[in-house]
Structure 1
């Protein structure tokens, strides 16, 4: 197999923000051609979970997503904070968004939202046996509802295209396969 990796010759930051950073790379392709400006979006890594309660219901959250101007049905998750282990980040997000804690947790996939333009990855977990241990502790600009669905209901939501977040659909499909539901 041939080496398809590009060499980064230089990088220049165009914008640095807390949630997204844009840089322009000058790259050399394996055959020596130069790409003068290749734009890369830098985001923090994300973690999410297909979270099952002790009575085998899948916890979902419903919230407004401004960039797409939609109310989105999603699995719980969010940004992994700097220095935080992905599983720790997922556990924190589950607790903050839903108030549920989990003992049985397994990494089921690591995926990239768009590896052609963005550098971050999403760690998706399967969390089982969830128990409500506290109230939600939402971030300043978060407002979300916690909902519970049976596995057949979630499968129908996927079939009806009612879950718009692609990374969350991916996690749900991996989890359903792991659970022997596909």
Structure 2
């Protein structure tokens, strides 16, 4: 079928819903739930579409000066698992994503990094949540302090080679999807897939 002249961007714009109203069900420091009333492009009305509002996040594939990948292991209560992850966390207020990444790396691992490069910006679940995650590659890490964890954090820092990380991914030992995504982008950038 020949191309009709309508651009893909125009077609995508035609898929957007019009927001008619919003009301909040719950507002909390880590998650907020609202319901939106929307109009679809064909005029149908969606009376209650539930949206979770979260702060934006950062995560980083962090390499020490010795070329080891820093990973963190911690308990994740909602899933009831001890999870092996890359360092990361919530962006505070109007903090810039790169500054949040440097802060999170320092707090969780005690390492400071020469270079931090944005690899990708992804959404955890854009059908129900509005936040995004900025995935970084951090290199030249040097330990400069002990961890500075939040009150309810218990984080164990571990170091792995690239080959070990690839095996952990192959063996499904890294359960956090956004962290697998960050690792994919980092390994791709480094030509290590």
Question: Shorter-chain TM-score: what band?
Answer: over 0.9
Partner of 2:84: 73
From 31, 48, 61, the counterpart of 1:37:
48
Structure 1 residue 95 corresponds to structure 2 residue 95? no
Per-residue CA deviation, residues 27-84 of structure 1 (Å, 9 max, x unaligned), is: 0011111000000000000001000000110000000000000000000000000010
Take 1:32 and 1:82, find their aligned partners in 2: how far apart are those partners?
Answer: 37
Take 2:116 and 2:87, find their aligned partners in 1: how far apart are those partners?
Answer: 14
Runs (4+) off by over 6 Å: none
From 68, 87, 93, the counterpart of 1:57:
68
Shift of 1:165: 0.2
Structure 1 gaps of 5+ residues are none
Shift of 1:104: 1.1
- Structure whose CA Rg is larger: 2
Shift of 1:162: 0.1
- What secondary structure is seen at the aligned counterpart in 2 of 1:169? helix
Per-residue CA deviation, residues 105-141 of structure 1 (Å, 9 max, x unaligned), is: 1100100000000000000000001000000000000
Aligned length: 182
TM-score (normalised: structure 2): 0.94
Structure 2 gaps of 5+ residues are 1-7
Partner of 1:108: 119
Take 1:120 and 1:49, find their aligned partners in 2: how far apart are those partners?
Answer: 17
Partner of 2:156: 145
* Root mean square deviation of aligned Cα: 0.5
